[in-house]
């Protein structure tokens, strides 16, 4: 995880904004127990950053696979299998 963050001021402080989100009550309690002294906000922020990074890497992989598929003389069977895998990745990313 990325805790602590180096923020926009370059001094270890990140710009923050208070928002309201609705989360599963059991997940909130579990997160509070794990977060410890750094607090729930920092824990959720780090989890969000990790998810955003993961989604960005998945999208980059999809772009790469699309580029490979467009210029690759691979058999149709291998292409179908690759398309199924790409589709599964897109389902996770929401694209």
Tell me the per-residue pLDDT of 48-84, one tens digit each, with 9 for 90 and over: 999 999 999 999 988 888 877 777 666 777 778 888 8
Query: Is residue 19, in this structure, part of any structural domain at all?
Result: no
Q: Supply the range of the domain harboring residue 63.
A: 25-93
Residue 86, in any domain of the structure: yes
Residue at 7 is within a domain: no
Could you tell me the pLDDT band of residue 95, with boundaries at 50, 70 and 90? low
Q: What is the pTM of this model?
A: 0.59
Give CA 11 to chain center in angstroms.
25
Does any domain span residue 53? yes
CA dist., res. 23 & res. 72, Å (int): 44
**Are the beta carbons of 15 and 8 closer than 8 angstroms?**
yes
Q: Domain total for the chain?
A: 1
């Amino acid at each position: 995880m990325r805790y602590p963050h180096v923020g926009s001021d370059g001094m270890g402080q990140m710009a923050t904004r208070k928002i309201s989100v609705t989360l599963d009550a059991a997940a909130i309690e579990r997160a509070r127990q794990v977060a410890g002294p750094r607090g729930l906000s920092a824990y959720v922020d780090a989890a969000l950053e990790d998810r955003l990074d993961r989604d960005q890497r998945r999208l980059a992989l999809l772009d790469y696979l699309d580029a490979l598929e467009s210029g690759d003389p691979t058999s149709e069977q291998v292409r179908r299998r690759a398309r199924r895998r790409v589709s599964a990745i897109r389902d996770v990313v929401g694209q």
